[in-house]
Structure 1
Amino acid sequence: MTPFYWESDHGNFGDDLNLWLWDFLLPGFRDVHPDVLLVGVGTVLNRALLPAEGKKLVIGSGFGYGALPDTSDRSVWDIRAVRGPRTAEKLGIDPALGIIDPAVMVAEMPEFRDLPKTGRTIFVPHWESTIGSIWPTVCQTVGVTYVDPRGEAKAVIKAIAQSQLVIAESMHAAILADAFRVPWVAVTTSEEINGFKWADWAETVEVAYRPRHVPVSSRNEAMHKGARFWGVRFENKWRAEEDPNKRGGDSLVMTRAEPRQSAVRTMAKQVLAAPSALALWQASKAAPQLSDDAVLARRKERFLEVIAGVRRDYL
């Protein structure tokens, strides 16, 4: 059995955790059924992503980009669970199969248990918000720790587990925070953020997706996203060359080298990022969200029943 996940050139911890999570949940799965593709964590139920040939075992994946694959042939598609009820509805399957995002099970792994708390408030942006932005500088201004979602997955997850509050533009930052019982605040910097997939997960743990708006941090970030910066709407000049349907600073985890800039230019950028800094500071003081312990426990129990069924049928 081969695990499938969206592998990007830049890295994204929410996708990269597929590399080791399934070895914990299904030990030995790689040694059986070489013809079966295990479709796990991620918004990967997409016709442009998944191969048409070969059997697919779906455990917790979600829809959110592009066009759905034709899953009507049950000899090819073994759908045991999807991320949430909205994905289940799109697929036309039993809503009860919209259980939860499998990433919550990371909190059950021994290496992530009983980690010491740092007391930090952290900000984990969507990976696209790292391009052309100055979020590390903005975070430093307001006393928030910046965590780059492109960093090594286990390092990012430990930073989330050890924090006291997570400001999350990355959906998996909120999912992991909730799994580790760390309060979180959802934010969004542009219309690029996919509200469907957020709501898909949020409904499983009975919370509402109500993101706070935080303005983009720089003109370059606005140009990349086609967003507004200081009242000016920029066209999407640097849209990632990756087809979106294929998902379609001072960093605690990772930094990217940037050209040296004059002190005056750096100061000017910081001044222009003042609205971003204010909104991020306000987010750090906002009332956070956290699902109910019992609700999360029930969902995880149902997911473990699915895992037990997969073990029984495949291992």
Structure 2
Amino acid sequence: MKPYYWESQHGNFGDDLNLWLWDFLLPGFRDVHPDVLLVGVGTVLNKALLPEEGRKLVLGSGFGYGALPEMGDRSLWDIRCVRGPLTAEKVGVPEALGIVDPAVLVPDMPEFKNLRKRHKRTFVPHWESAVAGLWPVTCATVGMHYIDPRGEAKDVIREIAQSELIVAESMHGAILADAFRVPWVAVATSDSINSFKWRDWAATVGVEHRPRRIPISSRAEAIVKGARFWGVDYDRSSAAPPRRPDEGDIAVKVEAQSGLRLAAKQVLAAPSTLALWQASRATPQLSSDARLAERKERLYAVLEDVRRDYL
């Protein structure tokens, strides 16, 4: 059996954790049923992503982008659970199968236990923001620790667990914070942040997705997101949109700044700096211990059934 995950060219810890999480949850799964694709963590129930041929075992995946694949043939689709009730409704399975995102089980891995706190307040942006924004500089200005979501997944997760508060634009930043019992504040820098998938997960653990808006930090970030920055509107839907810069372009634009030019960038990013500081002082959220434990128990029961049927 092979795990499927969306592989970002930039890297994204919330998807990359599929590379090792399932070896902990279902040891030996790679050695059986080579014809089955394990579809796990991520917003991957998308016709454009998943191959049409072959059998799929769905464990906690979510919908949120594009169109659903045709999932009516139960000989090809074994849907044991999905990320939340909104995905369950879209897929056409009972709401009870919308259990929770499997990433909530990461803290049960021995290597993530008993990690000491190292960071008071931490920001985890969406990967698009990390590619194009000035967020490391912004975080340094307000005295926050910055986590790049494109980093190695285990390193990113340890830093989340070692924080006392998480400000999260990355959904899995919030999911992992909540799972490690770290209070979190949701933020969004643009309309490109997918509220459907956030609400899907939030409903499972009994919290609300009510993100605080933080202005975009740079023109490069605005171009990536098709958003407005200081009166310049980059509309993705326009007939002739500006060329989307690749990671190399943005690295040159952002990392090469120094001296007066960097100071000028900090002035331009002042609205985002203030908003991020305010978010780090906002009242955070955290699901109840009982609700999280109940969802984890239900997910472990599903995994036990999968072990019985496949391993």
**TM-score higher than 0.5 here?**
yes
Quick check: 175-184 or 130-139, which moved more?
Answer: 130-139
Partner-residue secondary structure (3-state), 2:15: helix
Identify the residue that residue 193 of structure 2 maps to in structure 1: 193
Identify the residue that residue 56 of structure 1 maps to in structure 2: 56
Where do 5+ consecutive residues of structure 2 fail to align? 237-241
Amino acid at match of 1:17: L
What is the TM-score of this pair, normalised by structure 1? Answer: 0.93
From 299, 305, 308, the equivalent of 1:303 is 299
Partner-residue secondary structure (3-state), 2:60: strand
Distance 2:23 2:92 in 1: 30
Amino acid at match of 2:115: L
Correspondence 1:71-220 to 2 at 5 A: 71-220=71-220
Where do 5+ consecutive residues of structure 1 fail to align? 242-255
Distance 1:69 1:79 in 2: 13
Deviation track 1:80-108 (CA, whole Å, cap 9, x = no partner) reads: 00000000000111000000000000010
Aligned residues between the structures = 302
Identify the residue that residue 313 of structure 1 maps to in structure 2: 309
Check 1:202–1:124 CA distance in 2 against 1; reply closer, same or farther (3 A cut): same
Deviation track 1:195-246 (CA, whole Å, cap 9, x = no partner) reads: 00000000000100000000000111112211121233223434478xxxxx
Q: How big is the shift at 1:264?
A: 1.5
Is this contact kept in 2: 1:225–1:239, CA < 8 A?
Answer: no
Distance 1:59 1:275 in 2: 41
Distance 2:88 2:287 in 1: 21
Distance 1:76 1:259 in 2: 47
Identify the residue that residue 21 of structure 2 maps to in structure 1: 21
Partner-residue secondary structure (3-state), 1:177: helix
Is this contact kept in 2: 1:133–1:218, CA < 8 A?
Answer: yes
Distance 1:153 1:118 in 2: 18
Deviation track 1:132-179 (CA, whole Å, cap 9, x = no partner) reads: 211100000000111000000000000000100000000000000000
What is the TM-score of this pair, normalised by structure 2? Answer: 0.94
From 269, 275, 279, the equivalent of 2:275 is 279
Distance 1:69 1:37 in 2: 14
Is this contact kept in 1: 2:119–2:145, CA < 8 A?
Answer: no
Partner-residue secondary structure (3-state), 1:37: strand
What fraction of aligned residue pairs are identical, expressed as a percent?
70
Distance 1:52 1:233 in 2: 38
**Bigger relative CO (Cα 8 Å, ≥ 6 apart):** 1
Amino acid at match of 2:158: K
Q: How big is the shift at 1:262?
A: 4.5
